[in-house]
Amino acid sequence: MYRHIHALQQVARRTISSSVRRQLDNKVQNKQKLFQEDNGIPVHLKGGVSDALLYRTTMMLTVVGAGYVVYELVKAAFPRNKT
Amino acid sequence: MAHQAHAYHMVDPSPWPLTGAISALLMTSGLATWFVYKTTTLLFLGTTLLLLTMFQWWRLIIRESTFQGHHTTPVQKGLRYGMVLFITSEVFFFIGFFWAFYHSSLAPAIELGGLWPPTGITPLDPFEVPLLNTAVPLASGVTVTWAHHSIMEGARKPALQSLTLTVLLGLYFTALQAMEYYEAPFTLADGVYGCTFFVATGFHGLHVIIGTTFSMVCLLPHTHYHFTSNHHFGFDAAAWYWHFVAVVWLFLYISIYWWGS
């Protein structure tokens, strides 16, 4: 009976360790090749489309946010309640 | 492609300093609008922008260093100086709060009853939870040193385990402090005792959260094989910051919790 448990343990260990190895391989060299490509793209956009999407979202929030602050400041500085 | 004739890093222009500055503006004005008008839109927007900036800026640094190789020895030296100077500025930040505490507690005003702790204040017992909260950062100092040695020896799994333990200890400290804050018999509004206690320990708690986050973020590059045994400055910076946070706690414990009771 213990041989079965031992065999199961071996299988589980091998499966887990092999799946971990598949997920967390050393991909540094691939990334190095991607980011050292001589294509003139700045580093913050060099990773691909998701970079550009995230950048655009962030910039949009920045502009909208800055505008909103100015609006709130003007509102606070010139109160509209005339009683 | 032009090649530079020096070892320094001339960075590509990036938008993150701008977005970071705007997020600071949004967060501070957001705090003001929250206090005055009870609206949290600006604050929420500012925090989101801050998180986006932090993610993209630090991702950028990883790309420039690990993937593009810009962090040569002179560049790394500059980064080390930078981190040391930053931590030094934080030390002075805390010196201010310790100054305030000692100013009020060494010569207690007559309005406090002429004694410290002031009349009516029941201080926390320094040998209960605060003592546990001293053992925790000391232990995490050991685990972060263990992680450092593991990284230097190329021992991947022990490094992962010890770094995770460090993060867990940091979270444990935060949880314990939160519980203490909830159970404390005095509040921030309880005169100069409450003020000095909660401002000093509160800012320390914030720094613990920052340090824990920094260490947690280090887990990512580590699992992706970014750290080498002799080049892992991100981790070094996190470890220095963590030791600083632990040392501040020791001073807090001895001054405010122990001597101040």
- DSSP string covering A31-57: HHHHHT--S---GGGTT-HHHHHHHHH
Overall average pLDDT of the B56-60 stretch: 92
Overall average pLDDT of the B196-203 stretch: 94
Q: Which residues of B touch A61 (CB under 8 A)?
A: 19, 45, 48-49, 52
Question: B43, B70, B97 — which closes off a domain?
Answer: B70
Overall average pLDDT of the B208-232 stretch: 88
Comparing B225 with B58, the larger pLDDT belongs to B58
- In angstroms, the separation between the Cα of residue A19 and the nearest Cα of chain B is 14
What would the pLDDT profile of B120-131 be if each residue is shown by its tens digit?
899 999 999 999
Boundaries of domain holding B57: 1-70
Would you place residue A82 in the very low, low, confident or very high pLDDT band (cuts 50, 70, 90)? Answer: low
With contact defined as beta carbons under 8 Å apart, do A52 and B9 qualify?
Answer: no
Interface contact A28-B60, CB threshold 8 A: no
Provide the sign of the torsion angle of the four alpha carbons A67, A72, A77, A79, taken in this order. Answer: positive
Overall average pLDDT of the A44-55 stretch: 90
Instruction: Please report, for chain A, the start and end positions of each structural domain, with discontinuous segments joined by +.
Output: 43-83
- In angstroms, the separation between the Cα of residue A1 and the nearest Cα of chain B is 32
- CATH number for the domain that contains residue B97: 1.20.120.80
What span, in angstroms and rounded, lies between the C-alpha atoms of B156 and A26?
12
Q: Which residues of B touch A54 (CB under 8 A)?
A: 52, 56
| Res A56: pLDDT | 94
Q: What does the H/E/C string look like for chain B?
A: CCCCCCCCCCCCCCCHHHHHHHHHHHHHHHHHHHHHHCCCHHHHHHHHHHHHHHHHHHHHHHHHHHHCCCCCHHHHHHHHHHHHHHHHHHHHHHHHHHHHHHHHHHCCCHHHCCCCCCCCCCCCCCCCHHHHHHHHHHHHHHHHHHHHHHHHCCCHHHHHHHHHHHHHHHHHHHHHHHHHHHHCCCCCCCHHHHHHHHHHHHHHHHHHHHHHHHHHHHHHHHHCCCCCCCCCHHHHHHHHHHHHHHHHHHHHHHHHHHHCC
- In angstroms, the separation between the Cα of residue B222 and the nearest Cα of chain A is 11
Q: Which residues of A touch B1 (CB under 8 A)?
A: 38
B57 and B140 both lie in a single domain: no
Could you give the percent of chain B with pLDDT greater than 70?
99
Which ipTM did the prediction report?
A: 0.76
What would the pLDDT profile of B135-181 be if each residue is shown by its tens digit?
999 999 999 999 999 999 988 899 999 999 999 999 999 999 999 99
Interface contact A55-B1, CB threshold 8 A: no
Question: B20, B39, B70 — which closes off a domain?
Answer: B70
Overall average pLDDT of the B75-92 stretch: 94
B33 and B126 both lie in a single domain: no
Whether residue B56 has pLDDT greater than 90:
yes
Whether residue B50 has pLDDT greater than 70:
yes
Comparing A18 with A52, the larger pLDDT belongs to A52
Question: Mutate which of B36, B63, B225 to test chain A, going by most A C-beta atoms within 10 A?
Answer: B63
Would you place residue B10 in the very low, low, confident or very high pLDDT band (cuts 50, 70, 90)? Answer: confident
SS3 percent helix, strand, coil of chain A, rounded to 5, is 75, 0, 25
| Res A19: pLDDT | 46
Whether residue B77 has pLDDT greater than 60:
yes
With contact defined as beta carbons under 8 Å apart, do B213 and B257 qualify?
Answer: no
| Res B181: pLDDT | 93
| Res A42: pLDDT | 86
- In this prediction the pTM is 0.83
Average pLDDT over all residues of chain B = 92
| Res A4: pLDDT | 59
Which whole-number Å values give the CA distances from B48 to A65, B45, B91, B112, in the listed order? 11, 5, 28, 43
With contact defined as beta carbons under 8 Å apart, do B26 and B33 qualify?
Answer: no
Provide the sign of the torsion angle of the four alpha carbons B68, B74, B80, B84, taken in this order. Answer: negative
Question: Mutate which of B9, B10, B18, B22 to test chain A, going by most A C-beta atoms within 10 A?
Answer: B22
Whether residue B51 has pLDDT greater than 60:
yes
Question: B39, B70, B101 — which closes off a domain?
Answer: B70
What would the pLDDT profile of B90-135 be if each residue is shown by its tens digit?
999 999 999 999 999 999 999 889 999 998 899 999 999 999 999 9
- Chain A residues in contact with chain B using a Cβ-Cβ cutoff of 8 Å: 24, 26-28, 31-32, 34-36, 38, 42-44, 46-47, 54-55, 57-59, 61-62, 64-66, 68-69, 72-73, 76
Interface contact A28-B56, CB threshold 8 A: no
- CATH number for the domain that contains residue B37: 1.10.287.70
| Res B53: pLDDT | 95
Interface contact A27-B225, CB threshold 8 A: yes
What span, in angstroms and rounded, lies between the C-alpha atoms of A65 and B41?
10
- In angstroms, the separation between the Cα of residue B62 and the nearest Cα of chain A is 10
Closest residue to B56, CB basis, from A46, A58, A68: A58
Number of domains in chain B: 2
| Res B251: pLDDT | 94
B100 and B216 both lie in a single domain: yes
